[in-house]
Chains A and B, each alone.
Chain A
Amino acid sequence: MSAVWSAAWAAVRRRLLQTIVIGVVVCASTATIVMALGLLESAAAPFDRAFATQRGAHLAAAFDPAKTSDDQLRKAAGQTESAGPFAQSTLDTSTGEIFKGTLTVAGRADPGGPVDRLTIWEGRWATAPGEIVLNRAPGGNGRTNLGFQLTVPGRPTLTVVGFAHSVTGSADAWVTPEQVEALQPTVLQMLYRFPNAGTAAEVAEGQKSVTAGLPEGALLGTLSHLTVKDKATSELGVFIPFLLIFGVLGLVVAVLIVANVVSGAVVAGFRHIGMLKALGFTPGQVMAVYLVMVSIPAVAGCVLGTLAGNVFAKPIVQDAVEGFGVTELSFAPWVNAVALLGMPALVISAALVPAIRARRLPAAQAISAGTTAHSGRALRVQRWLSGTPLPRSVSLGLGLPFARLGRSALTLAAVVLGVMTVTLATGVTMSITAYNDAVRPSYADRVEVLAGGPPGLPVMRNPEMGEPPAAALSDADDEKMLRAVPGTAAVMAVSQLETEVAGGTQNATVLFYRGDVSALGPRVLTGHWPDGPGQVAVPSRFLNQRGLSVGDTITVQAKENRTQLKIVGVVLTNNEDQIFADWTALNVLAPGTRAHAYQVKFTPGTDRASFTAAIGKGDPGLRVLPPRDGSSSTAVIIISASVVLTLVLGAVAALGVFNTVVLNARERRRDLGMLKSIGMTPRQVTVLLSTSMGALGLVGGLVGMPVGVAVHQLLVPAMAHAGQADAVDILMDVYHAPALALLALAGVVIAVLGALVPARGAAHLSIATVLHNE
């Protein structure tokens, strides 16, 4: 055993570069695997995870305070884990200066408790009258932030002091129990956790047990965690196909490269194996020497990689699943266990195949097998290349991959996957950007001008902004003024009405546009933009949710007026409860309503500040909103995750190429020395070795690019479906010829980047040393 150990240790030290390469590759691959598995695991159950951390409510129930009491509710809950009762009030805020719909506000003294433990991720909990905490997923942002004041006519003004998140969505906002009394609560809320709640029947069972004995009609309504989960998963589910694909890709690339590096190390040692046998090592001992030799760096790399994976991969995965409310992410123990045990197992099995071959190899043959395997095909390729007019260093390089088909194939596979990842990630990024641009137009070239809130509606007020806007001029004069401001390219007036859509339970906001709708309005996907009083355009989700189609007629009621609108088009927008009509329709539903906002597009080169100032001079009562950030946090997260994953997988693929060049150069160093002795310059040697990998890179690019495009075309509809996104054509149609050409070359880039360093190293190796040592 000690002979084996010392021979292995000597081999490790003598092949320091190879040892380092194995260590680094295993380390990077393990980190990738930890990240991939972490992604797979987190993506598979982010809701469940957040639900478990927060001890989410299996059932949220609303009771009528007129029919039951706190004591009765507590008693009915009995041994069941529960929180509450919390008095709950509904604040009817509405679309005003800052969008907020109806707010469900619960009075709660403490964010903790046995059920529905809220995560306060910004600010603090409400402890005094006049304070409110909003429910929002961590990292999310809206138009409100700390310090905003919520004013509802007839109620106390509330200042936002914190943001908390409830996975169960038990309320939209929280205030202190004393404060909620001032908001005229109408409901008592109870939150329950049941021992079994996996199915709707089990939840119903639980519900029966906690409401038994309560007066008739006390229970107003319930919300099951199953419903909440459905909704959450469909909102952020768009991540899941994406994360799964990247997880799987990471896994496969890592496994391939480790297999390549480790088996390569053993094959490269055949000559050494022959010598060990000649010294009297038994076949078993030889095998052991090789297994120990690769295990030393592999185990070190594996441990470091697991650590690195936990440290560096976590923020990425964290970002990706944060929207679900997971704030404290820790990889499940099995992820680290799989990495720590699986990687050495993979290394050993990758080493075992060639090691078993080495075990059987007769000593003499092993010594002579040290250089290269010669298939007839490799020789024919070389002969053909010799006759081509290519520079000799290039043609020799092109022939090199054929001498070691197995190794070349594994390297090629890694490059293919690398290119595929780059292609896919680029495509996903472009899809998301394109979609994002389409649903949220860039506000870089336009300003939003407020003329005043729609009459009679409450507003969310930002104290920093001062008084709410109140236009001084008439609607027509304002529009005329805006069109006259130097630099104006287009003006669109906007008004809106909250309406009830007959036949549906949900209300819809009708947006009325006037002016340059084609330049500033939403994109029409099918049909046409409303051009008469009886017409409306809607998002496709509106159609899907109500079972309608283009050509159907809907009846909307606003205040006393009721009108029939024919659906004439489908438009692209993010909000399924917004429908669009022409200004003529407004004159029917609410005659005389003025525009409460304008969108003004300015010509390129116009200075936003002076443009804004000119508008303020034209009508001091108008308020120009600060420029809006056009990107969504979902988009930002997916794009940044894409970039990081692309870099990691691209780097791991390049590392695979690096290793192949190191092995090839080592095997061929006698040949390289000879070539230099007959006058090959260092540069030609670099060209030779880089060409050999560049050729693989080119093939890898030509294969990987279409595969990446194909996966994109499969993945995107799945993402769009999960996210219920419209306009799949915008998402799909993102690759264009120049981009495709560049992506096909990505393989060459990966290969040449990986090859360059070892190729240059080999080119500058002293010939005398090489020839002396062989």
Chain B
Amino acid sequence: MNNDVVVAITDLRKEYADSVALNGVSLTVRAGEAVAVMGPSGSGKSTLLNMIAGLDRPTSGSVVVHGTDLGSLDETGLALFRRRGIGMIFQFFNLLDDLSALDNVALAAQLTGTPASQARKRALELFGELGISNRRNIYPARLSGGERQRVAVARALMNRPALLLADEPTGALDSRSGEQVMDLLLDLNQIGQTLLLVTHDERLATRCASRVVEVVDGRIAREQSLERTS
């Protein structure tokens, strides 16, 4: 494991019209870490994740991912950054309903200009690795929640991102499928994938994270390194 800094956040502040979502957060994530962000609802966890992904801009403070200061990028620059550098997984999967599972995953590579055939080939490999090869031609509406989330994970991994971000990836799943998805993420982390995930489930967090960060009212209230239980 190397100790390169993947994410460096300094004094991050995000205000919305009627609330302060983040109020001075500093955080460093190193390559190969699995960081779990926890905290009560409305504390600013999703906001923090969005800032790292460049989905929104901070009011003040800086976010540096892989040596790139996101504040220096324009909209297009941020999009290109996300394409290559970030994989995102959402609570509600966010798959395109009118594309098959395979095409949903291939899409991520096609956006970078990869030809369709090559993109589908790489997607098939991932489907094999994630154990959902037999679901490749099914449309999202006919997949179970767990399957949808695995498709979403495959999509996030498509461009071999340096950083995988997951916002309550198990939040919409029953506990069994949730655990399966967590195992998947843990496996990925163990082969070196840097991971930052938001979750409410303490058990899952302690099982797969190497560090837990607790956010309360837009501030980091507690940080704790863990010996993984698995």
Interface residues of A (CB under 8 A from B): 371-372, 374, 378-379, 382-383, 386-389, 391-393, 399, 403, 670-671, 673-684, 764, 766-769, 771-772, 774
**In whole angstroms, what is the CA distance A675 to B110 when docked?**
12
Mark B102-113 against chain A: 1 for CB-CB distance below 8 A, else 0.
010011101111
Contact status A671-B115, CB under 8 Å: no
Pairs across A and B, CB under 8 Å, 16 listed? A371-B97, A378-B98, A382-B98, A383-B99, A386-B107, A671-B94, A674-B94, A676-B82, A678-B155, A679-B82, A681-B76, A681-B79, A766-B55, A768-B47, A768-B55, A774-B92
**In whole angstroms, what is the CA distance A212 to B112 when docked?**
97
Contact status B76-A683, CB under 8 Å: yes
Contact of A681 among B80, B84, B100, B156 (CB under 8 A): B80
Contact status A372-B97, CB under 8 Å: yes
Chain B residues with CB under 8 Å of A767's CB are: 50, 55-56
Chain A residues with CB under 8 Å of B100's CB are: 379, 383
Please indicate which of the listed interface residues A378, A679, A683 has the most CB atoms of chain B within 10 Å of its own CB.
A679
Chain A residues with CB under 8 Å of B117's CB are: 387
Contact status A680-B90, CB under 8 Å: no
Contact status A678-B82, CB under 8 Å: yes
- 8 Å CB contacts to A: which residues of B76-135? 76, 79-84, 86, 88, 90, 92, 94-100, 103, 106-108, 110-113, 115-117, 120
Which of chain A's residues has its CB closest to B113's CB?
A391
Chain B residues with CB under 8 Å of A378's CB are: 98
**In whole angstroms, what is the CA distance A774 to B106 when docked?**
25
Contact of A382 among B83, B99, B115, B155 (CB under 8 A): B99
B226 at the interface (CB under 8 A from A): no
Chain A residues with CB under 8 Å of B111's CB are: 392-393, 675, 678-680, 684
Contact of B103 among A382, A678, A684, A764 (CB under 8 A): A382
Chain A residues with CB under 8 Å of B53's CB are: 677
Contact status A386-B103, CB under 8 Å: yes
Residues A677 and B98 in contact in the complex (CB < 8 Å), given A387-B116, A392-B111: no
Chain B residues with CB under 8 Å of A372's CB are: 97-98
B4 at the interface (CB under 8 A from A): no
B75 at the interface (CB under 8 A from A): yes
Mark B49-69 against chain A: 1 for CB-CB distance below 8 A, else 0.
010010110000000000000
- 8 Å CB contacts to A: which residues of B180-197? none
- Min Cβ gap A54→B in Å is 65
Which of chain B's residues has its CB closest to A679's CB?
B83
Contact of A399 among B46, B47, B98, B141 (CB under 8 A): B98
Contact status B55-A682, CB under 8 Å: no
Besides A382-B99, A383-B99, A392-B107, 15 other CB < 8 A contacts? Answer: A374-B98, A383-B100, A386-B107, A386-B110, A387-B116, A676-B55, A677-B90, A679-B83, A679-B159, A682-B75, A684-B79, A767-B55, A768-B47, A771-B50, A771-B90
Contact status B94-A772, CB under 8 Å: no
- Min Cβ gap A550→B in Å is 68
**In whole angstroms, what is the CA distance A768 to B16 when docked?**
12
- Min Cβ gap A325→B in Å is 61
Mark B5-24 against chain A: 1 for CB-CB distance below 8 A, else 0.
00000000000000000000
Which of chain A's residues has its CB closest to B139's CB?
A379
Chain B residues with CB under 8 Å of A399's CB are: 98
**In whole angstroms, what is the CA distance A615 to B204 when docked?**
104
Contact status B115-A379, CB under 8 Å: no
Residues A677 and B82 in contact in the complex (CB < 8 Å), given A403-B98, A768-B56: yes
Chain A residues with CB under 8 Å of B98's CB are: 372, 374, 378-379, 382, 399, 403
The 10 closest A-B pairs by CB, nearest first: A679-B83, A768-B56, A681-B79, A674-B94, A392-B110, A679-B82, A386-B103, A767-B55, A681-B76, A768-B50
- Min Cβ gap B126→A in Å is 14
**In whole angstroms, what is the CA distance A684 to B78 when docked?**
13
Chain B residues with CB under 8 Å of A393's CB are: 111
Please indicate which of the listed interface residues B79, B83, B115, B120 has the most CB atoms of chain A within 10 Å of its own CB.
B79
- Min Cβ gap A767→B in Å is 4
- Min Cβ gap B160→A in Å is 13
- Min Cβ gap A225→B in Å is 67
Residues A676 and B79 in contact in the complex (CB < 8 Å), given A383-B103, A771-B90: yes
Residues A389 and B115 in contact in the complex (CB < 8 Å), given A371-B97, A766-B56: yes
Contact status A678-B99, CB under 8 Å: no
Contact status B112-A679, CB under 8 Å: yes
Contact status B76-A771, CB under 8 Å: no
Chain A residues with CB under 8 Å of B75's CB are: 681-682, 764
Chain B residues with CB under 8 Å of A681's CB are: 75-76, 79-80
Which of chain B's residues has its CB closest to A670's CB?
B94
Contact status B99-A389, CB under 8 Å: no
Chain A residues with CB under 8 Å of B55's CB are: 676-677, 766-768, 771
- 8 Å CB contacts to A: which residues of B119-171? 120, 139, 141, 155-156, 159
Which of chain B's residues has its CB closest to A402's CB?
B98
Contact of A679 among B46, B47, B79, B95 (CB under 8 A): B79
- Min Cβ gap A666→B in Å is 16
Contact status B99-A386, CB under 8 Å: yes
- Min Cβ gap A677→B in Å is 5
Which of chain A's residues has its CB closest to B50's CB?
A768
Chain A residues with CB under 8 Å of B110's CB are: 386, 392
- Min Cβ gap B50→A in Å is 5
Chain B residues with CB under 8 Å of A772's CB are: 46
Chain A residues with CB under 8 Å of B81's CB are: 679
Chain A residues with CB under 8 Å of B107's CB are: 386, 392, 678
Contact status B116-A677, CB under 8 Å: no
**In whole angstroms, what is the CA distance A346 to B86 when docked?**
50
Contact status B56-A374, CB under 8 Å: no
Chain A residues with CB under 8 Å of B155's CB are: 678
Contact of A682 among B46, B79, B82, B96 (CB under 8 A): B79
**In whole angstroms, what is the CA distance A680 to B96 when docked?**
14
Contact of A677 among B88, B96, B139 (CB under 8 A): B88
Chain A residues with CB under 8 Å of B112's CB are: 679
Contact status B106-A386, CB under 8 Å: yes
**In whole angstroms, what is the CA distance A570 to B94 when docked?**
75
Which of chain A's residues has its CB closest to B77's CB?
A681
Chain A residues with CB under 8 Å of B120's CB are: 387
Chain B residues with CB under 8 Å of A768's CB are: 47, 50, 55-56
- Min Cβ gap B96→A in Å is 6
Chain B residues with CB under 8 Å of A389's CB are: 115-116
Chain B residues with CB under 8 Å of A764's CB are: 75
Chain B residues with CB under 8 Å of A774's CB are: 92
**In whole angstroms, what is the CA distance A383 to B106 when docked?**
12
Contact status B76-A682, CB under 8 Å: yes
- Min Cβ gap B52→A in Å is 12
**In whole angstroms, what is the CA distance A378 to B141 when docked?**
14
Which of chain A's residues has its CB closest to B14's CB?
A768
**In whole angstroms, what is the CA distance A151 to B198 when docked?**
101
Chain B residues with CB under 8 Å of A771's CB are: 50, 55, 90, 94
- Min Cβ gap B89→A in Å is 10
Which of chain A's residues has its CB closest to B84's CB?
A679
Chain B residues with CB under 8 Å of A387's CB are: 116-117, 120
**In whole angstroms, what is the CA distance A522 to B65 when docked?**
80
Chain B residues with CB under 8 Å of A383's CB are: 99-100, 103
Contact status B141-A671, CB under 8 Å: no
**In whole angstroms, what is the CA distance A393 to B96 when docked?**
13
- 8 Å CB contacts to A: which residues of B185-218? none
- Min Cβ gap A464→B in Å is 68
Chain A residues with CB under 8 Å of B47's CB are: 768
**In whole angstroms, what is the CA distance A371 to B112 when docked?**
27
Which of chain A's residues has its CB closest to B51's CB?
A768
Chain B residues with CB under 8 Å of A675's CB are: 96, 111
Contact status B80-A374, CB under 8 Å: no
Chain B residues with CB under 8 Å of A674's CB are: 90, 94-96
Which of chain B's residues has its CB closest to A683's CB?
B76
**In whole angstroms, what is the CA distance A372 to B83 when docked?**
26
Chain A residues with CB under 8 Å of B116's CB are: 386-389
Chain A residues with CB under 8 Å of B108's CB are: 678-679
